[in-house]
Structure formats: C-alpha cells, structure tokens
Amino acid sequence: MNQPKIKRRVGKYEVGRTIGEGTFAKVKFARNSETGEPVALKILDKEKVLKHKMAEQIKREIATMKLIKHPNVVRLHEVMGSKAKIFIVLEFVTGGEMFDKIVNHGRMMENEARRYFQQLINAVDYCHSRGVYHRDLKPENLLLDAYGNLKVSDFGLSAVSQQVRDDGLFHTTCGTPNYVAPEVLNDRGYDGATADLWSCGVILFVLLAGYLPFDDSNLMNLYKKISAAEFTSPPWLSFSAMKLITQILDPNPMTRITIPEILQDEWFKKGYKPPKFEEKDNTNLDDVESVFKDSEVHHVMEKREEEQPTTMNAFELISMSKGLNLGNLFDAEQGFKRETRFTSKYPADEIIHKIEAAAKPLGFNVQKKNYKMRLENTKAGRKGNLNVATEIFQVAPSLHMVELRKAKGDTLEFHKFYKNLSTCLEDVVWKTEEDMEETK
C-alpha cells in the first residue's frame, strides 16, 4: 500500500480519524511522526472555552493532569495551542471500553471484577490526593490497555466547566444519571471525592451483576430510587461483596464508607497488589501557559490538504484491530459498541448517497461535508436525540472503509439503528467469497 499524503498535521503529529466527541471537545487518533507512537489528540474549541469562562479552570486541570502519572490513569503527554484550538495529547489505549466488555460478555466473576475495582480505587484515590475529581465515572470512561489493565480516561477533564463555590462544594449536576450520587441530584452542594466514590460503587455493582442497580425509564422515578439507595442484590453475589457495595451506596455522604476504609475491607484486600510506579517532579508546565497566549510564537503549526476521503495506512488499520488481527475490522457482527465499520467496493460518493437514502426513512436528518456525514434522529430517545457521525476512508484505490460512530445518545439505540441501516445497505457492503458461502 502506498504511503498516503497527510491530510492534516498538528506540530509533529499526523492526525487521523475521529475516535470520540463530546460537548466541548473532539478526540482524534494521531501519530507522533518522530517516534511513530500512537496518541489520542483531544481538540477543544478556544472560542467556546473563553465564552464559557473556562480558561483558568482548564489551565489548572491540564497542569494537574500533567503531574498525574499513574498506571491506571490515561497519561497526558503535552498540550499545544493554535489561534482557534487547544490540543491535548493523551496516551492512546488500545483495549476498548469496559462498557463493551460488560455488554458483550455480561457480568464478571468476583476475582476479575475485584481486580478492576482495585485498579479503579487506586486511580481515584491517587487523583483525589492531588485535588482532581472526575465527576463522570462510568464504564464508558474506563478503558482497557493491551494487557487488560484498567485506565481511567478524562480524569480532571470531563467536568472542566464545573465550578467550586465559596463553600468548597460543587453545585452543578453533571455526569450520567444512573451513576450520579444522590447529593449531586439534590442541588445543595456536594463533595467531589464522596460523589466519585458513589459512582465507583455503581460500577462495582454493574461488574458483578451485569446490570445497573438504579434504572428507570422515568427520570423522576430514577432519582427517587437513587436518593433512597433502592436496589436489589442479585442472589449470586457473595455476602462480603454485597456488604461493601451497600457501604459505598450509602445515600448519606457523611456516613458513606471512605477510600481508606475500603482499602482495609476484607473483600477488597483479597489478592490486592498496590501499583508500582515512579513519581517524577520534573514535569515541564510551560506549554500549559503558552496555550492561551495570543502571540503566534506560541502557536503550533497546522497543515491541511484538499478534502478527499482520508487515506488510511496499514499502521492505522492495525491500531483499530485487536492483537494485530485485521479480520475483526470486516466482521458483520461487532457487538454492542459505540462505533462500527464495514468495507465497500463502491465509490465514496455513491456510498454517501446510499447511506443518506437509507437513513432518512429511519427518521434521521442528514448533514454532509466532504466525505463526512452527521445523522441526527428527529425523535428524542432515552438519552436525547441519537447522533451518528459517519466517515469514509480509502483503504486501497478500489476499497473504502465506512465508520459509523455514536456521537450523542444511547449506545443500545445506536446498535438498533445500525442493524436497521445495515439491512438497507446490504448491496453496498463488500462480502468476501467466504461470506458468500456462509449466506448460501
């Protein structure tokens, strides 16, 4: 395969596909052209940051995150700025989300769940000791590396718009409702540490039970269940595991178990190995200040080329597959994920036309720009309107890869949408001879 032209470069980083997006930021796959190391590039819009008066807080959060070097927290390498953007360079984690593991494989055995929970508590405890709170802990924000170790993503960056008032408490309701602590919902102020711990308790329950402790399609009913800590223990849980979960999911933050107490818990301590890592104090924070300076001397160089389907090289293909096996890129069944992909031998323009024709009858508005599309459901679902981002990549002159990614909304609704869409696109999807034999 020919080495592709670089469509976009930020400083020394070659920028590739989008791998996630939120209200204030977009995350793209990138590669350090000097070392070949893959990274995740988080891109924030500077105008939005300044408009929402978030500059000082982001500076503070980024500076703190640069100092946090823990094996179970996604590493922040460096930060750069251009006239319009802030670029945060993060460790690229290849093993997928904990969410996918739970949905695809169900509940875990206690030993496996305990190992992940120990790593989660270690990460949370370390960050809290440095005054950094997550406020949106959930399985979608827990990544797994190639060795199956847990990595907390977005620590200190997920809630950059939140403010602490004079009473030292946070006052903004944030996070995913099912994982949010009762004191966050009652709007009387809350402590970031105890609120994070509640979310850890919900995550432990989900790992062991395979379902949420608090769930209801009616938001008010859900809030009532959370406020009363009203949940049912599954019969397969051990007494000691259930006892710990009950102590964490205490609706009163003043009597809720603390992390030092969890570290002494008999169930938690079983097979516990404290993380080994070196703390270095020689971190350079000069780049954090320079990000917000208007002088072009401090701006990173951005280069772009004319728009065409992004050419994907072998390096990026391998980064998207597990264990260097490219087969799973082209599998029809990819499980419940927040993104999915297929390959096609159709021209890129024709693929876009086919997706648009298939999405509109399913109730989606379609926005197109170059070889990217945004599909938005006109009807609100469980978590607002489902938004699907679509991008077409050129793998070879006559072969394209199409990626569909949930940008907003519910993951299970995205999976249902993709199944409906794929039925309409059967003639577009490239099938190997082996696939043809299986369908006979």
Tell me the C-alpha distance between 45 and 360, whole Å: 30
Select, from the ranges 93-102, 163-172, 337-346, the one with the highest average predicted confidence (pLDDT).
Answer: 93-102
pLDDT for 2: 44
Q: What is the bridge-based pairing of β-strands 310-311 and 150-152?
A: unpaired
| pLDDT winner (highest mean) among 20-24, 269-273, 314-318 | 269-273
Q: What is the pLDDT of residue 334?
A: 44
How far CA 202 is from CA of 35, 169, 276, 326, 439, in Å, comes to 40, 22, 27, 35, 42
Q: 62 pLDDT exceeds 90?
A: no
Q: Which residue has the higher pLDDT, 247 or 362?
A: 247
CA atoms within 13 A on the CB side of 404: 27
Can you spell out the DSSP letters for 140-200? GGEEE-TTS-EEE-STTTTTTT--B-TTS-B----S-GGG--HHHHTTS-B-HHHHHHHHH
- pLDDT tops 70 at residue 396: yes
Contact (CB, 8 A) for 391 and 19: no
Fold match flag (8-92 vs 98-269): no
Token pair recorded at residue 418: 């993709």
Joined tokens for residue 218: 């009616």
CATH architecture of the domain 8-92 equals: 2-Layer Sandwich (3.30)
| Of 123, 151, 117, the residue nearest 269 (C-alpha) | 117
173: CB partners within 8 A, 6+ apart? 180, 184, 185, 187
CATH 2.60.40.60 fits 310-439, yes or no: no
**Residue 103: closest CA among 130, 62, 138:** 138
Spatial neighbors of 286 by CB under 8 A, at least 6 apart, are: none
Q: Kindly tell me if the per-residue pLDDT of 249 is higher than 90.
A: yes
Burial status of residue 328 (CB atoms within 10 A of its CB: 0-12, 13-18, 19 or more):
middle
- Compare 283 and 227 and report the one with higher pLDDT: 227
Most confident of the ranges 75-89, 104-118, 177-191, 421-435: 104-118
Q: Which of 404, 365, 409, 412 is nearest to 385 (CA)?
A: 409
Q: pLDDT tens across 166-179, in order?
A: 444 444 444 568 88
> Would you say 276 is a known binding-site residue?
no
| pLDDT for 166 | 45
Query: What is the arithmetic mean of pLDDT over 345-360?
Result: 86
Q: What pLDDT is stored for residue 177 in this prediction?
A: 83
**H/E element, 209:** helix 192-209
Q: Where are the domains of the chain?
A: 8-92, 98-269, 310-439
* Domain spanning 98-269, CATH architecture: Orthogonal Bundle (1.10)
What is the distance between the alpha carbons of residues 63 and 47, in angstroms, rounded to a whole number? Answer: 20
Q: How far apart are the first and last CA of the chain?
A: 33
Is the model more confident about 237 or about 428?
237
Give pTM, 2 decimals: 0.67
What is the average pLDDT across 46-57? Answer: 77
Q: Which of 175-179, 294-298, 318-322, 421-425 has the weakest average pLDDT?
A: 318-322
The predicted pLDDT at position 245 comes to 97
What is residue 184's predicted lDDT score, i.e. its pLDDT? 82
309 or 415, which is more confident:
415
pLDDT tens digits for range 273-282: 888 876 655 5
In percent, the amount of the chain with pLDDT more than 90 equals: 25
Q: What is the overall mean pLDDT for the chain?
A: 79
DSSP state of 24: S
Q: Does pLDDT of 341 surpass 90?
A: no
| Model confidence pLDDT, tens digit, residues 2-35 | 444 446 888 889 988 887 776 667 888 899 988 9
Helix (H), strand (E), coil (C) string for 358-386: HHHHHCEEEEEECCEEEEEEEEEEECEEE
| Per-residue pLDDT at 203 | 95
Q: CA–CA separation, 395 vs 350, rounded Å? A: 16
Q: Are strands 142-144 and 384-396 parallel, antiparallel or unpaired?
A: unpaired
Please give the pLDDT value at position 304.
60
**Hey, which residues are catalytic here?**
136
pLDDT tens digits for 201-219? 999 999 999 999 998 888 8
The rounded percent of the chain whose pLDDT value lies above 70 is: 76
**Is 225 a residue whose pLDDT tops 90?**
yes
Q: What is the pLDDT of residues 324-338, one digit of tens each?
A: 344 444 444 444 456
Structure tokens given for 244: 């710990």
pLDDT, residue 308, reads: 59
**In this predicted model, which residue has the larger pLDDT, 217 or 271?**
271
Q: Which of 95-99, 214-218, 436-440 has the highest mean pLDDT?
A: 214-218
